[in-house]
Structure 1
Amino acid sequence: MASVGGIVATVLSVLVGLVFAFSGAVKLFPAVNPDLHQEMATKFSTYSPIFPLADVTGFRPSPELYRQVVGSLELISGPGIILFPAELKTVCNGILFVIMCGACYTHFALGEPFIVPMVLGAMLGCIYFLRQQGEPSKEKAQCHRVNVQFSIKPLGALLCNIYTALFKMAFGKLAVTIASVTLGVLFVFKGAVKLFPEVNEEIYQDFVMRFGRYSPVFPLADLTGFRPPPDLYRQFVAWTELVAAPMLALFGGILGTLANVILFGVMLGGVCTHLTLGDPVSLFAQELGLLIVLGCLFVLRRVEASKAAKEKEQ
C-alpha cells in the first residue's frame, strides 16, 4: 500500500511535470501560444547577458540558444519526473531544480519577483525528499546500483549520490527551521503593516482599500451567516498573522504545526477571495505562492516528526 508521502509525491510530480512540459513547449513552439512564445523570446534577450554560469565557464549563450536549451530540458524533464524509471526521475528532478535556481538568480539580478521559480524549486525538493522517505530501500538501491551493461550508469549513480547528499542537507531539519523562521518574519511584517500605518503608510492604505473589496465576499459568509465589516476583517487577519507567525518561527511540534495550519487557512481564504472577485493571478501570486510553500512546509514537518518518532522507538 502506498504511503501518504508517496501519494503526495506522485500528485506533485504530475502537477509540476505538466507545468514544465507546457513551459518548455511554449519556449520552443510558437504554435502552442504565439503571444507567450514571443514574450519568452523577448525575456531571454534580457536573461542572456546575465547568464548565471558566464563567469565560471566564460560562455554566454545567445538568447535563442539559451531559450531553446532551457525549453528542451523542461520539455524532456517535465514528463520525465512523471513517467521515467526511478533513477532517471531523480536526474530529471535535479535538472529542473538547477534551472529553477538559475531562474531565481536571474530574476534577483534583474530586480524582478522570483516567487514562481522559488515555489517550483521548493516543490521539486519536496518531491525528491518524499520519494526518498516513501520508498527508501527501493530508491536507494536503484540510485546506487551500477549496471555494467550501460556505460551511463556509473555517472547516473554518481549524480544520484551527489543529489541525495545535497537534498538531505537542503530539505532536512535545518531547511524546516530556516523556512519556518523566514515565513514567520514575513508574516509578522504582513500582519504589522495591516495594523499600523507607521510601518508603511502606502501599503497600509492599500490594505484598507483591499479589505473594502474583500469583505462582501468573505469566504465563510454562507457557512456562518456573518459578514465582517472591512476594518474588523483586516484587523482579525492581521492579529492572526502576528500571533501565528512567531509560533511558526519559534516552535516545533503541535504549536508549530498549528501555526502552519492557521496561516495556510489564511492564505487559502485569500486565494478563494481573489478567485471569487475574478482577479488575475498576478494580483494574488504572493498568496498562492505562500499557500504552496506552507503546504510543503507542513508535509516536511510531518515527515521530520515521523522520522524523529521512529528514531526514538529504535
Structure 2
Amino acid sequence: MATVVNVALRVLSWIVTFMFLMASLVKVCPFIGQHAEMAKEFVKLAEVCPTAWFGYVPPSYVYMVTVGAWELFCVIGLFTTGLRKTCYGILSVIMIGAMYSHIALNDYKGLPPSVFLLVACSILFLSTSSQPEKLKAN
C-alpha cells in the first residue's frame, strides 16, 4: 500500500527526471530552439567554471555539451534501480556547480531552479535505497 510519503517521492522523482531531461536535451541537441540561447549563457558560465581556479577555462560549447551529456546519462540512469542513487548524487553535484556559477556571476534569477533541483535531488538521494528491491513472495 502506497503511503503519502511514497507517492510524494514518486511525483518528485518524475518532476526531477522531466526537468533534467528537458535541460539536458536543450544543451546537447542543436535543433532545439533554446539551444542557441543556452550557448550564449554558457559563454559567461564557462568563465566562472570551477576549473578556472586551476587555470583552465573550457570552451563554452564543450562545457555546455559536457554538462548536458552528464545530465542526460543520469536521466537515463534514473530509470534503472541500481544506478538511481548514484545518478541523484551526480545531479546534486551538477546543481551545486550551477548554484556556484550563478552566484559568481551575480545572476540570481537563475538560482531558484538550481536550488529546487539540488534540494529535490538531495531528498531523493537520501530516500533511495542503494540496494535493489527484492520481490516478495505471496
TM-score of the two chains, using structure 2 as the length reference: 0.84
Match of 1:51 among 49, 70, 79: 49
Please say if 1:20 is aligned against 2:7: no
Tell me the CA shift for residue 76 of structure 1: 1.9
1:143-179 alpha-carbon deviations (Å, 9 max, x no partner): xxxxxxxxxxxxxxxxxxxxxxxxxxxxxxxxxxxxx
**Could you say what secondary structure the match of 1:2 adopts?**
coil
**Could you say what secondary structure the match of 1:61 adopts?**
coil
Tell me the CA shift for residue 140 of structure 1: 4.8
Match of 1:110 among 105, 108, 115: 105
**C-alpha RMSD of the superposition:** 1.7
| CA distance in 1: counterparts of 2:6 and 2:60, whole angstroms | 39
Q: Select the structure that is richer in helix.
A: 1
| CA distance in 2: counterparts of 1:60 and 1:121, whole angstroms | 24
Tell me the CA shift for residue 58 of structure 1: 4.2
| CA distance in 2: counterparts of 1:130 and 1:77, whole angstroms | 17
Residue 101 of structure 1 is matched in structure 2 by 96
Please say if 1:30 is aligned against 2:27: no
Structure with the larger RCO, 1 or 2 (CA within 8 Å, 6+ apart)? 2
Q: Is the 8 A contact 2:85 2:130 kept in 1?
A: no
1:52-71 alpha-carbon deviations (Å, 9 max, x no partner): 2332x543211011001011
Unaligned runs of 5+ in 1: 132-138, 143-314
Tell me the CA shift for residue 130 of structure 1: 3.1
Alignment of 1:132-281 (within 5 A): 139-142=129-132
| CA distance in 1: counterparts of 2:127 and 2:90, whole angstroms | 18
**Could you say what secondary structure the match of 1:31 adopts?**
coil
Unaligned runs of 5+ in 2: 133-138
Q: Aligned residues: percent identity? A: 32
Choose 1 or 2 for highest CA Rg. 1
| CA distance in 2: counterparts of 1:15 and 1:79, whole angstroms | 14
| CA distance in 2: counterparts of 1:58 and 1:91, whole angstroms | 29
1:255-281 alpha-carbon deviations (Å, 9 max, x no partner): xxxxxxxxxxxxxxxxxxxxxxxxxxx
TM-score of the two chains, using structure 1 as the length reference: 0.39
| CA distance in 2: counterparts of 1:79 and 1:141, whole angstroms | 18
| CA distance in 2: counterparts of 1:13 and 1:140, whole angstroms | 16
Residue 84 of structure 2 is matched in structure 1 by 89
